[in-house]
Amino acid sequence: MASQEYRIEHDSMGEVRVPADRYWGAQTERSRNNFPIGSGREPMPEEIIRAFAALKAAAARANRQLRPEKMTEEKCAAICAAAEEVRSGALKDHFPLVVWQTGSGTQSNMNVNEVLANRGNAIAGRTLLHPNDDVNMSQSSNDTFPTALHIAAATAIEELVLPALKELAETLRGLEEENRDALKCGRTHLQDATPIRFSQEISGWRASLERDLELIRAAGEPLHELALGGTAVGTGLNAPEGFDRLSAEILAETLGIPFHTAENKFHALTSLDEMVAAHGALKALACDLMKIANDIRWLASGPRLGLGEITIPANEPGSSIMPGKVNPTQCEQVTMVAVQVMGNDTAVSMAASQGNFELNVFLPVCAYNFLQSARLLAESMNSFRGRCVCGIKANREKMAENVSRSLMLVTALNPVIGYEKAAKTAQKAFRDGVSLKEACVELGFLTAEAFDECFHPEQMA
């Protein structure tokens, strides 16, 4: 194995050996050595790195307009070119830092600064950029990480969660249309209830998801406010006037999301309330997905000894010992993802509660949990839709059989014989193992002909 080659980089604390084939610098290397936590399996999310690259390019362009004597055209072009490579994923191996680092994310900000400076210098063919003086111009870690956090969260919602949610809701709408004539037994408290059309049951699932979509959109709007321009403590020290507004406008134009500068930077640097609200909407979606997935696996239970009112796709063998067994595995992955998102919500909430004075220092863990939730929900919904929901088929014969045997059809008799007599009819039918009609006639509450006139299960839905 070839030995690792190194180069010498330096920062304000002195010289550091850095792998020669990597663009990061001294501060990144110090962090890499000082935080051997997570065994490299929990790196700073790629979404945060891409968001950083976008904001660094926007900052360079804003500085080019506002501070042209310092941000030359050549420097701006080099930063933007390097940032585009980072956004494309071409330099992903140059960001080695883990989530478990400084709570402000300072070292990841410097990781981006160093990579953009060194890659920009390579593009320029000479030493042109300094990570602090040029790439970090008019910025601080304290305003860039909250900005990257909002950019990454808003982008994840727009590009991952909402498209997957829309497709799942539309698939349910199609399933709803297919089953408008399928009558089945409704259930409350896991007990038989009055009839319902399968399409009505599906409509409840669909409407829940559509409401979640509305809630997530509404909760995501405050994420469009950016802290960039507040610098160290919210005062905007070392940033030129108008930098905050201009950089936000450039980001909005670049990313197609209506980002704008936060009116109060002291709030933007220390509060994570927007993240809490947005993740709360993701948790609401997780709760509804848990309910829908459980409904589907209950309805598909069996195939002979359960409810068996629907069939779902058989994707893989379900047992290493029981031949022919098939399990509702897509429902199970949805419910596990839902549990993870609910747990993540606690982490996000706890992180948000820990702001002290002019800064919150739980930013990386908030980013990690929020972005994991967004990714998991989107991927889970896409898999659930394609591998389960699209293949749901109603077992109409079983549904009809269950409806005909349901004692709660007796509810149709309430207006005719009253609640107490109807209850006695149901109790006798259950106790004696006879039909509702037989019980009602035997009790003398109605004649057979009168019973048939008022008993129409299909009209109860």
pLDDT 10s digits, 341-397:
999 999 999 999 999 999 999 999 999 999 999 999 999 999 999 999 999 999 999
Tell me: pLDDT of 250 over 90: yes
Interval 441-458 mean pLDDT: 95
Interval 108-122 mean pLDDT: 98
What's the mean pLDDT when you consider all of the chain?
A: 97
Q: What is the pLDDT of residue 4?
A: 86
Q: What is the pLDDT of residue 40?
A: 82
Known catalytic residue at 435: no
pLDDT above 70 covers what percent of the chain?
100
Backbone φ and ψ of 444, nearest 5°: 80, 20
Tell me: pLDDT of 3 over 80: no
Catalytic residue among 3, 12, 39, 189: 189
Interval 399-406 mean pLDDT: 95
Q: What is the pLDDT of residue 219?
A: 98
Structure tokens at 204: 């409840």
Beta carbons within 8 Å of 399's beta carbon, 6+ residues apart? 182, 183, 184, 185, 198, 309
Known catalytic residue at 267: no
Q: What is the pTM of this model?
A: 0.96
Tell me: pLDDT of 326 over 50: yes
Longest pairwise C-alpha distance within the chain: 102
Binning pLDDT at 50, 70 and 90, where does residue 2 land?
low
Beta carbons within 8 Å of 352's beta carbon, 6+ residues apart? 271, 272, 273, 275, 276, 360, 362, 366
Tell me: pLDDT of 204 over 60: yes
Catalytic residue among 319, 353, 404, 456: 319
Interval 28-50 mean pLDDT: 95
Kindly list the structural domains of the chain, giving each domain's residue range(s) and its CATH number in brackets, ordered by start: 21-137 (1.10.275.10), 154-230+263-396 (1.20.200.10), 407-460 (1.10.40.30)
Binning pLDDT at 50, 70 and 90, where does residue 1 land?
very low
DSSP string, 81-123: HHHHHHHHTTTGGG---BSSS-TT-HHHHHHHHHHHHHHHHHH
Structure tokens at 177: 């249309």
Task: State how far the Cα of 385 lies from the Cα of 390, in Å rounded to an integer.
Answer: 6
Q: Give the least confident one: 2-11, 19-28, 132-141, 438-447.
A: 2-11
Burial environment of residue 319 by CB neighbours within 10 A (0 to 12, 13 to 18, 19 or more)? exposed
Binning pLDDT at 50, 70 and 90, where does residue 449 land?
very high
